[in-house]
Amino acid sequence: MKRQLTGHVVTRWYRAPELILLEKDYGQAIDMWSVGCIFAEMLGMMKQSAATYLDRKPLFPGKSCFPLSPDRHARIQANGFPVARDDQLAVIFDVLGTPGDDDISYVTDAKALGYLRSFTNIPRMDLAQKYPGASGDGSDLLNRML
């Protein structure tokens, strides 16, 4: 029996990229992504990672999410798509870098592919440096979940 999957996971900060890109066939990996986002928040609560409580924040605090909830005020366009610095995928790519050709090969939606190609190349951030309080195993686990 195949269950009906939802097309819109509401909490954008924990939404996996494949959901943002409107993939219809997805699995448990989206849940691991969400757990990774929460784990990063926990690592960010360590004193070594955040000097004060004001320095604590979610890993991917996007304010819009094209195409599900786009920034209606984005004035810049790239390849015909609105560009917003705080768009969810832009926030994710600022940390994890833009996807390579191998990652993009899994995307099936033509518009999603065009949208991905509108991003300039961004290198991956070292999560061990972002969360210095994390052990080597903790950093490795976070990288694997994301």
- pLDDT-based confidence at residue 11 (cuts at 50, 70, 90): confident
Task: State mean pLDDT over 125-134.
Answer: 95
Cβ neighbours for 11, distance < 8 A, ≥ 6 positions apart: none
* Structure-token pair, residue 15: 């939404």
CA distances (Å), origin 78, targets 53, 93, 95: 37, 16, 20
Nearest residue to 37 (alpha-carbon basis) of 6, 63, 65, 11: 11
Domain ranges of the chain: 12-145
The tokens of 42 are what?
A: 């926990």
pTM over 0.75: yes
125 near 114, Cβ under 8 Å? no
Q: Which CATH class for the 12-145 domain?
A: mainly alpha
- 132 vs 23, more confident: 132
Could you give the CA distance from residue 124 to residue 10 in angstroms, rounded to a whole number?
A: 26
Higher confidence at residue 135 or residue 4?
135
Q: pLDDT tens, 48-85?
A: 998 888 889 999 999 888 776 666 666 666 667 777 78
pLDDT number for residue 110: 86
Nearest to 66 by CA among 108, 101, 114: 114
